Structure 1
Amino acid sequence: MSDTGLDPQQQAAVDAPRGPVCVLAGAGTGKTRTITRRIAHLVDSGHVAPGQVLAVTFTSRAAGEMRTRLRTLGIGGVQARTFHAAALRQLRYFWPQVVGDTPWELLDRKLGLVGQSASRAGVSTSADSLRDLAGEIEWSKATLIAPEDYPAAAVRAHRDPPGSAEQVAAVYAGYEALKTRNGVLDFDDLLLHTAAALEEHSEVAREFRDRYRCFVVDEYQDVTPLQQRVLDAWLGERDDLTVVGDANQTIYSFTGATPRFLLDFSRRFSEATVVRLERDYRSTPEVVSLANRVIGAARGRIAGSRLQLVGQRPPGPAPEFAEHPDESAEATAVAARIRKLVDAGTPAAEIAVLYRINAQSEVHEQALTEVGIPYQVRGGDRFFARPEVRSAVAALRQAAQQGAGRDGDEVDADLLEVVRAVLEPVGLTVTAPPGGAVRERWESLTALVELAEELLTVQPAAGLPQLLTELQTRADARHPPTVQGVTLASLHAAKGLEWDAVFLVGLNDGTLPIQHALGEGGAAEEAAVEEERRLLYVGVTRAREVLSLSWSLSRNPGGRPNRRRSRFLHGLVPEDHPAARLPAKAAPRDTRKRGRCRVCGQPLVGAMPTKLGRCESCPSNVDDELLESLRTWRKERSTELKVPAYVVFTDATLTAIAEQKPGDAAALVAIPGIGAAKLERFGPDVLTLVRGEQPAPGAG
């Protein structure tokens, strides 16, 4: 370190001559210290006055930290803001010159107008659909795509729109028209109108450029084409620009962010000074070494710019790797390890549990509650406070009140199917939807089904009443302090933060990398998978000292161990670790009870194959005419009994009957979910239908 407290590379960035400067700053390398010292140096040397500097970053927290550090250095008056805050201030000042007296208001929430446009376009107006539509509009504007160009752009970018691309384009166009009619601007309009004011009005550009002479952009790998357009408008023909970024931490491509402006900086500005900051002051050498190995396997253009971090702290503990039989066991082990850290003196606020998707938080909330560790969920509601979970629990409660469970163990045997049937109208589908709000909702609903599965492992006769009691107990137990607790956060929400101890959990293929990153094929798939790798890199580099990476072989206790640890961990787990070798594919459990497939003869595993009597992949020999007759009969009986249709028989049970065509009561009761009560109540009707006859009116 020099007498200024800077290392040679940091000092080189500070002392670089005026003009274009690119600082490639790895995680933990002191980038904020460096860029604030550079601003102070430019001011102290007389190159610019503090008020002539505009520094922009991506969060209000980062902008506030920059202003605080500058004040500590005796530099006041520098404008350090987010892109949107800077644009809002400028637009309010220049609006009268550009537009005149026409008033406008800032639209805080766009979902209302998106909903109106979606309704007119005949598109779903569910809360999840509107959030996803809003996300597509935001992505389009961030990437400078007009409504009419959206369909083609969505195909090129491999987007997963909520509906057809043409429908999204129609909603986008309608939304823009409604904004104009109502005299409102959204946050993206702030950037668009600011850029347009400077591009199209020379007197506005001249006044602005007389005011601001020097620009600094933090997290430059996260800029969107729209933000770059604003920056270009600010600069004009000048080049007094310092950018700071790390392409290895590019994790927001889905919002339109792109590292290409960072990667092309020295090509655009051939005289640019490029400085690489690689001394890591945040993490121990052990954590830094693992981070280098994670990102060292990266492929693609970004990989060519990777930084090789060098740990500067004293040695610490080696990163821990742990394999668990199921998610519950994983969460229990993590909570126990956290309990030991807290008891040994590590503040709970200096510990984080990081995961890929928000739905993963529930099992860790439960485990921390059981060991008395306070926690706070960052970047999302606690599991039972999420709107989709509240709606789902309400639907389950209503189903219980309407009669599900009145037949005791006969309905209880169908608990999982009843839960799935109840949750289907609120968003649970057989296959996972694409990413976005709809996918997040699906993950939460799937977690509720898994809770029901977990309950059945300890209470095989449990029904809806018992499930609702369990859910209420879990929800009531979650009132931890919102401060001084362990942080639960997604990897995206953890960006820019750091803790003494970090637990990276759920590191399974299909979760990290996320499943929908694996299905595009070709270059699109590689780009998506590489972004997932960078997410793991971001997670690893959040840890100062203690780092734990874990995964589970099955989702639920007692489940098949058919999961695999994340592909990103291959080659990272020490050779002498018990989990160094991929486990052999385990034999299906409980095959004697569940029987064998009547088509291929293989053991049946899972509730649905057991009910159908065949593997789901084996061909169905369903009698379509019988199935339709069964459905018609079920509808009549459910109306007569004033209960939901699934209380009579679920779809899966009807399909099993139509496939197996039981000829007598013994064969009928052999189908899982049909016990004595249902046999007595509905058996005669069903056997009559199987024979091709119609039940007598009023039968049953």
Structure 2
Amino acid sequence: MKRRLEIGLMRRYSTSMNIPRQMAIKNHLEGLNGPQRQAVMFPPNSPLQILAGPGTGKTRVLTSRLANLVLNHSYLPSSICAVTFTRKASKEMKARLYQYLDSNATEDIKLGTFHSVCLNYLRSYGTMVHVEPGFLVWDEDECILVLRHLSEKAGKDLTKDFLAKELYEMFSNVKEKVKITPGAAIDSMIKEELKRKREDHNSSAHDSPQIQLQSKLLLELYYSYSHTLRASNALDFTDLLSKGLDLLQAVPWAREVGRLKHVLVDEFQDTSSLQYLIVKELFKATRGSISVVGDPDQSIYKWRGADDTVFRQMKKDLPKTKEIYLEENYRSTASIITTAIDIISQDETRPPKALFTSYTPHGPKPVKKSLDIKHEEEAYIVEEINRIVTNSAETIDYGDCAILFRDNRSADQFSQVLFKAGIPYRQLPEPSLMEQFEVISLIAFLRLAINDAHTPMVIRALKGPLALDEKAITDLMTRSAGHRITLFDALQRVRGGYDRDTNPSCISASNLLIRILRHLRDFMHQGASPADLLHYIIEATNYHEFLMQNFTKNYSRRARNVQRTIQYAKLFKGKKELGPMPVRLFLDFMRELSRVDDFNTGKVTLLTCHSAKGLEWPVVFVPSVVDGVYPHHKSQSISIDEERRLLYVACTRAQCLLYLTRSETKLINQRGIPVEVQQYESEFTEHLLPETYQNEAPTMDTKALDLFRKILGRN
């Protein structure tokens, strides 16, 4: 019976294509080079590593291999699990799959990030590992918000050394270390972190009372944070992975759901140890039928838990693993590739891999430019951007240029330079409408009306129009953690008079929030629209008055964002039904709306090298290529080789022109006095072969522009 069902499903997928089956097979193989075709056609029942250099068409190969499994090997789409590193990569892969498969087949493939794959398993079988139905998932900002208030009660001994974001990252790393206790993990991390921050390399300091106190406070905070999540029936992002792994290990049949036959993993070099354990459970289900795609030369996330040994570990676990190399670059000029390879080849431990392009001529050599002072370096970049745009015969505009920085602070500073020069720019990541304070605080009431256990949303509402101060919120968080109840339950205790020492403002805020939520629920069950509910919240909280009092300088912009939210609520066409479902759908609609990419064409892009991974621009500038930036001055705990790989990733974002700039000196602030200090060239560029770069600006002649148009497809 089951076999007949599978045959019927396969007929649906093969006959409902818009084009004949034979043409579909030809379609997904069309235009592939030899190694790409070999990777796509490789037998699916054997483990495969596709080692794909930058710009070698890995996304095309991934989607073609997925299509080939369905079209050429009769795999049910629902039996394939494809795991990506980002939501953006999932969306891009799905969009390309629609070119080769019909919508039914594409939608049935289990395609998503590690987090979304684990989320789907936990939604179905979470109770098997003590995850209650209807659990919430707190995003990074929500977790940091909670940790900020939980850490305040620990006192200055903790908060003077650790920001809430650092605490979140530390606790995520603790959860990643599945083989050791939280106490041991925290003890190891705090010694390393405090050693770095205080620049104290004396090993005896590791046993000091201060270290012991920090470890004790952090462990207490870790458990307090864990209890807060549990009381709210919530998971953070790392919990999704660890609980997902628990499920796959404890309930082996869960991974068999849908008769999983093949696993495909994108950006394998970015996989953490915990994520690899999940992959391992999945390929147990497929009996070793797995394809991974990645590039060890682009492993730049070790600080975030990425494990650069996963390629070797996979070969150890699956000895029959084969390798296929993708080495033909379709993105960059030969000159840019030559310089990038010269940088990455300085790593003597790196397995030798080639990267080449068939584009001719070679194109202008990358520019390596040294200026006297920082101001001159900034002026040079501005001058070159204007010169390129002016002299490119409309081949290149401002939107084709990117400036890649080592950190966000440098990008912030350079944005002012472009602003003063009158050059249009955008700085990524750009905050979406749903990330604006005035929108989050408004939406918080809707989310609480559906589920008042959402502690971060309670904090948003209290800090927003209910205007409760930080100290009072921290006190409430302390009470909720002490009683192991949700923050909303703590508010109800206040309202019920159980906590007699509560200040009047807290009682007032509690009463107002509880009353508003009761009315919102009543309105929902009467069929009120999301727009009507938002209007009620604004009126009940005197929202605009709150914004005017607290945001005098930019009230107009914030009021416009509130109005935009209401307009989206009016445009939203949800089901007309009673209860919370229309609001749930509206919130989903707003979340998806905030994820829509806005490319802002015509603007220079500013972002970090880490964020630039997977992207490309015709013209790329990498400023501050000096010692202390590449490699970073904090890199004693990070591999120097990873720092080199980061610069390699930055260089390989460029399609036509690449600039590596630096200034000989910079100004630093010493006791309020600006002091000029010497800067030295990065060791990564200092030893570049002279024939791989030039010191002067490239000529924008006909020969160069013809090559650029060919690469960019703008003939």
Category of TM-score, reference length = shorter chain:
0.5 to 0.7
5+ unaligned residues in a row in structure 2: which ranges?
A: 1-25, 198-210, 438-552, 558-598, 669-673, 697-715
Which residue pairs with 1:538 in the alignment? 649
Equivalent pair of 1:278/1:309 in contact (CA under 8 Å): yes
Q: How far, CA to CA, are the matches of 2:675 and 2:314 in structure 1?
A: 51
Q: How far, CA to CA, are the matches of 2:183 and 2:606 in structure 1?
A: 41
When normalised by structure 1's length, the TM-score is 0.63
The number of aligned residues is 476
Q: Cα offset for 1:3?
A: 7.4
Answering whether residue 173 of structure 2 is matched by residue 139 of structure 1, we say yes
Q: How far, CA to CA, are the matches of 1:561 and 1:113 in structure 2?
A: 41
Distance 1:386 1:364, change over 3 A: farther
Q: Which moved more, 1:119-128 or 1:132-141?
A: 119-128
Is the partner of 1:262 in helix, strand or coil?
Answer: helix
Equivalent pair of 2:132/2:233 in contact (CA under 8 Å): no
Q: Cα offset for 1:43?
A: 1.2
Answering whether residue 363 of structure 2 is matched by residue 313 of structure 1, we say no
Answering whether residue 53 of structure 2 is matched by residue 20 of structure 1, we say no
Cα shift readout 1:48-100 (whole Å, capped 9, x = no counterpart): 11121111111111111111111111252322211111111221111355548
Q: How far, CA to CA, are the matches of 1:173 and 1:249 in structure 2?
A: 35
> Which structure has the highest helix share of the two?
2
Equivalent pair of 2:175/2:182 in contact (CA under 8 Å): no
Which residue pairs with 1:358 in the alignment? 408
Which residue pairs with 2:583 in the alignment? none
Kindly report the root-mean-square deviation, in angstroms, between the aligned alpha carbons of the 2 structures. Answer: 3.3
Is the partner of 1:81 in helix, strand or coil?
Answer: strand
Distance 1:157 1:244, change over 3 A: farther
Q: How far, CA to CA, are the matches of 1:192 and 1:492 in structure 2?
A: 25
Which residue pairs with 2:69 in the alignment? 42
Is the partner of 2:316 in helix, strand or coil?
Answer: helix
Distance 1:11 1:364, change over 3 A: same
Answering whether residue 280 of structure 2 is matched by residue 229 of structure 1, we say no
Q: How far, CA to CA, are the matches of 2:414 and 2:407 in structure 1?
A: 13
Which residue pairs with 2:387 in the alignment? 340
Which residue pairs with 1:547 in the alignment? 658
Q: Cα offset for 1:339?
A: 0.7
Which residue pairs with 2:84 in the alignment? 57
Answering whether residue 227 of structure 2 is matched by residue 201 of structure 1, we say no
Which residue pairs with 1:330 in the alignment? 377
Cα shift readout 1:104-126 (whole Å, capped 9, x = no counterpart): 22223112432344234335458
Query: Among residues 122, 125, 128, which one is paired with 1:91 in the alignment?
Result: 122
Is the partner of 1:539 in helix, strand or coil?
Answer: helix
Which residue pairs with 2:621 in the alignment? 503
Query: Partner letter of residue 87 of structure 2?
Result: S
Cα shift readout 1:356-382 (whole Å, capped 9, x = no counterpart): 122222443233223321001113779
Q: Cα offset for 1:190?
A: 1.3
5+ unaligned residues in a row in structure 1: which ranges?
A: 388-471, 581-700
Equivalent pair of 1:222/1:252 in contact (CA under 8 Å): yes
Equivalent pair of 1:573/1:579 in contact (CA under 8 Å): no
Query: Among residues 572, 576, 589, which one is paired with 2:688 in the alignment?
Result: 572
Distance 1:40 1:61, change over 3 A: same
Q: How far, CA to CA, are the matches of 2:92 and 2:693 in structure 1?
A: 42
| Structure-to-structure mapping, 1:110-189, within 5 angstroms | 110-122=143-155, 123-125=157-159, 129-144=163-178, 145-154=180-189, 164-189=214-239
Q: How far, CA to CA, are the matches of 2:691 and 2:436 in structure 1?
A: 41
Which residue pairs with 1:294 in the alignment? 343
Cα shift readout 1:461-500 (whole Å, capped 9, x = no counterpart): xxxxxxxxxxx9xxx9xxxx95531001111111111000
Is the partner of 2:659 in helix, strand or coil?
Answer: strand
- Share of identical aligned residues, percent? 28
Equivalent pair of 2:371/2:662 in contact (CA under 8 Å): yes
Q: How far, CA to CA, are the matches of 2:320 and 2:194 in structure 1?
A: 37
Which residue pairs with 2:703 in the alignment? none
Q: Which moved more, 1:363-372 or 1:22-31?
A: 363-372
Larger Rg: 1
Distance 1:88 1:381, change over 3 A: closer
Q: Which moved more, 1:154-163 or 1:339-348?
A: 154-163
Q: How far, CA to CA, are the matches of 1:577 and 1:244 in structure 2?
A: 31
When normalised by structure 2's length, the TM-score is 0.62
Q: Cα offset for 1:158?
A: 7.0
Is the partner of 1:325 in helix, strand or coil?
Answer: strand
Query: Partner letter of residue 287 of structure 1?
Result: I
Higher RCO (CA < 8 A, seq sep 6+): 2
Query: Partner letter of residue 499 of structure 1?
Result: W
Q: How far, CA to CA, are the matches of 1:197 and 1:241 in structure 2?
A: 20
Cα shift readout 1:615-656 (whole Å, capped 9, x = no counterpart): xxxxxxxxxxxxxxxxxxxxxxxxxxxxxxxxxxxxxxxxxx
Q: Cα offset for 1:574?
A: 2.4
Distance 1:535 1:561, change over 3 A: same
Equivalent pair of 1:16/1:273 in contact (CA under 8 Å): no
Query: Partner letter of residue 182 of structure 2?
Result: P
Distance 1:370 1:574, change over 3 A: farther
Q: Cα offset for 1:386?
A: 13
Query: Partner letter of residue 37 of structure 1?
Result: S
Q: Cα offset for 1:156?
A: 9.1
Cα shift readout 1:291-324 (whole Å, capped 9, x = no counterpart): 1100000144xx12x4221122222111111111
Q: Cα offset for 1:182?
A: 2.7
Query: Partner letter of residue 95 of structure 1?
Result: G
Q: Cα offset for 1:194?
A: 1.6
Q: Cα offset for 1:228?
A: 1.3
Query: Partner letter of residue 494 of structure 1?
Result: A
Which residue pairs with 2:97 in the alignment? 70
Cα shift readout 1:178-208 (whole Å, capped 9, x = no counterpart): 22233211121111112212211244344x2
Equivalent pair of 1:143/1:256 in contact (CA under 8 Å): no
Answering whether residue 266 of structure 2 is matched by residue 218 of structure 1, we say yes
Query: Partner letter of residue 268 of structure 1?
Result: D
